[in-house]
Copies of this chain bind each other. A is one copy, B any other.
Amino acid sequence: MAKAKTATVSLEPLAIGIDIGGTGTKFGIVDRNGNVLFSSEISTRGHAQVESFIDELHKNLLALIDKSGGPGRIRGIGVGAPNGNFYSGTVEYAPNLPWKGIIPLAKLIENKFHLPTILTNDANAAAIGEMMYGAAKGMKDFIMITLGTGVGSGIVSNGQLILGNDGFAGELGHTIIIPDGRKHEGTLKFGSLESYASATGVAITAQEMLKNSKEESLLRKIPKEQVDSKKVYEAAIQGDKLAKDVFDFTGKILGLALANFVMFSSPEAIVLFGGLTKSGDLILKPTREHMEANLIQVFQNKVKILVSHLKESDAAILGASALVWEVKG
């Protein structure tokens, strides 16, 4: 008995992080210092029923839990999911997930694993991850913007996630930056940030510019439907003027949006994450310039634009696991 007790005490508690995406779900076991000890991935899209999804998730996670020293070491489960609601633990009408309507995901997972489970939207989870382990370490006021296929956001003010009255706060990708602008095929709204500053938006901008200008471009050698944000980046670093114009245009809109966000919550920094940030100064330089140009004096030259330095493959799991320490710890 004494020996067993000693062994238990010497083992640090661990957390499970689960990041549910439209295509795949990543999960892992994470220690309090942000080390991902074990991780794996299953398909999300392959499960038409949420119950079969949770069964497979459970089976796969049990193996990792065993490797980590058993369920006694696990403090809880943090889940990041699109349209995830912190208050209710539900995922509501997520357009990119196979399960429709309102899914009581936290409860389903808690019942299966018999571990306390906290759920929030994926960008909020990413923000908590950045605050605990990443670029926003030690900050009490920052905004996390994920620039991927879509544009997500998590807002931290006075050390707390802004969740709002209903738990759905922080949908900055859907704020309207260009009134009567480009139509978003998912929301059917016009001129949202996401319709321009996502990977999808960059591809559309490139295709529009190729159509509306006579400018020579490396991108003209590629079939139009294959012009994506990666191809635009590759052309731009070879000095392609049109491709660079695509980033300037995107940065102009992103910078204007960031200025508006700064005038809302006056953060210490804005942390950018996701595929588009790999384009570095091609996108960051015009973004910074246009953010500053649209800020009133009191906010100028004080808000940092940072790029997340978390390892991309771990970041989603880390962020989700951080919920366990941040909220229950």
By a beta-carbon cutoff of 8 Å, the part of chain A in contact with chain B is 83, 92-93, 139-141, 155, 157-158, 160, 162-172, 174-179, 187, 189, 256, 259-261, 263-268, 294, 296-299, 302
**Shortest Cβ gap from A97 to chain B (Å):** 14
Which chain B residues border A174 with CB–CB below 8 Å? 263, 296
Kindly state the separation between the CA atoms of A264 and B168 in the bound complex, as whole angstroms.
Answer: 9
Q: Let me know if B297 and A93 touch, CB within 8 A.
A: yes
- Of A169, A171, A263, A267, most B-chain CB atoms within 10 Å: A263
Q: List 17 A-B contacts (CB under 8 A).
A: A92-B298, A140-B165, A157-B169, A164-B266, A164-B267, A165-B266, A166-B298, A168-B299, A169-B265, A171-B266, A171-B296, A171-B299, A174-B263, A176-B260, A176-B294, A187-B297, A260-B260
**Number of copies of this protein chain within its complex:** 2
Q: Let me know if A261 and B264 touch, CB within 8 A.
A: yes
Which chain B residues border A155 with CB–CB below 8 Å? 264-265
Indicate which residue in B141, B158, B164, B260 contacts A265 across the interface (CB closer than 8 Å). Answer: B164
Q: Let me know if B175 and A178 touch, CB within 8 A.
A: no
**Shortest Cβ gap from A222 to chain B (Å):** 30
Main secondary structure of the interface of A (DSSP, over half): loop
Indicate which residue in B169, B178, B189, B267 contacts A179 across the interface (CB closer than 8 Å). Answer: B178
Q: Let me know if B260 and A169 touch, CB within 8 A.
A: no
Q: Let me know if B168 and A157 touch, CB within 8 A.
A: no
Please give 8 more A-B residue pairs, beta carbons under 8 A apart, in addition to A167-B266, A169-B265: A141-B164, A157-B162, A164-B265, A164-B267, A170-B265, A172-B263, A176-B259, A177-B179
3 tightest Cβ-Cβ pairs between the two chains A and B: A164-B266, A169-B266, A165-B268
**Shortest Cβ gap from A290 to chain B (Å):** 10
Given known contacts A176-B294, A298-B171, A266 and B163 CB-to-CB distance under 8 angstroms? yes
Which chain B residues border A83 with CB–CB below 8 Å? 298
Which chain B residues border A268 with CB–CB below 8 Å? 165
Indicate which residue in B168, B175, B302 contacts A298 across the interface (CB closer than 8 Å). Answer: B168
Q: Let me know if A157 and B166 touch, CB within 8 A.
A: no
**Shortest Cβ gap from A200 to chain B (Å):** 16
